[in-house]
Amino acid sequence: MAYSDKVIDHAENPRNVGTLDKDDPSVGTGLVGAPACGDVMRLQIKVSDDGVIEDAKFKTFGCGSAIASSSLATEWIKGKKVEEAEALKNVDIVNELNLPPVKIHCSVLAEDAIKSAIADYRAKQAAKR
């Protein structure tokens, strides 16, 4: 299968690979997918007091398109408000990366990862109060 240049770029030079402290209350962690399905994404956000995502990191087990989708997702949500990040749709990723139909699930997973990280962050904030 031929990959788009953007997928290749992100897969070869992934942005924001890494790990944030999952016990930090300002960090939200999303872990989605399953090893048996061939893709697992972990996406983490660190949110400032005024609700801005000041850092985002990911690690992905998956094909080039899955890596690219999560890499792009972290790039996009960094600097955004949590609500803005939440509004991101998988089709945006599909369009940006030119994903073929068989790879759309990679973008869905990235959207899920963002939502799951935000949910985790909110749960932590709620628990704090």
Partner 1 sequence: MAIKLPIFMDYHSTTPVDPRVIEEMLPYFNEKFGNAASRSHAFGWTAEEAVDYARERIGKLINAQSEKEIVFTSGATESNNVAIKGVAEFYKDKGNHIITSVIEHKAVLDTCKRLEKEGYVVTYLGVGKDGRVDPDDVKKALTDKTILVSIMLANNEIGTVQPIEEIGKLTRERGVLLHSDAVQGVGKVPFDVQQMNVDLASITAHKMYGPKGVGALYVRRSKPRVRLVAQMDGGGHERGMRSGTLNVPGIVGFGKAAEIMMNEGKEEGVRLLAMRERLRKKLQSSLEEVFVNGSLEHRLPGNLNVSFAFVEGEAMMMAIKDVAVSSGSACTSASLEPSYVLRALGVGDELAHSSIRFGLGRYTTDEEIDYVSDLVIDKVKHLRNMSPLYEMYKDGIDLKSVQWVAH
Give the range of 36-44, 46-54, 76-84, 119-127 binding partner 1 by CB under 8 A: 36-44
Using CB under 8 A as the binding rule, whether residue 21 contacts partner 1 is answered as: no
Length of the chain counted residue by residue = 129
Query: With binding defined as CB under 8 A, does residue 72 bind partner 1?
Result: no
For residue 75, give both structure tokens: 């790039």
Instruction: Return the residue of 27, 28, 33, 118 that touches partner 1, per CB under 8 A.
Output: 33
Q: Report whether 72 contacts 93 (CB < 8 A).
A: yes
Q: Which residues on adjacent β-strands are paired with residue 59?
A: 42
Nearer to partner 1, 84 or 112 (CB): 112
DSSP-derived letter for residue 80 is S
Structure tokens at 8: 């290749």
Q: State the number of binding residues for partner 1 (CB under 8 A).
A: 36
Sites of contact with partner 1 (CB under 8 A): 1, 3, 8, 11-12, 14, 17, 19, 31-42, 58-67, 102, 105, 108-109, 112, 116
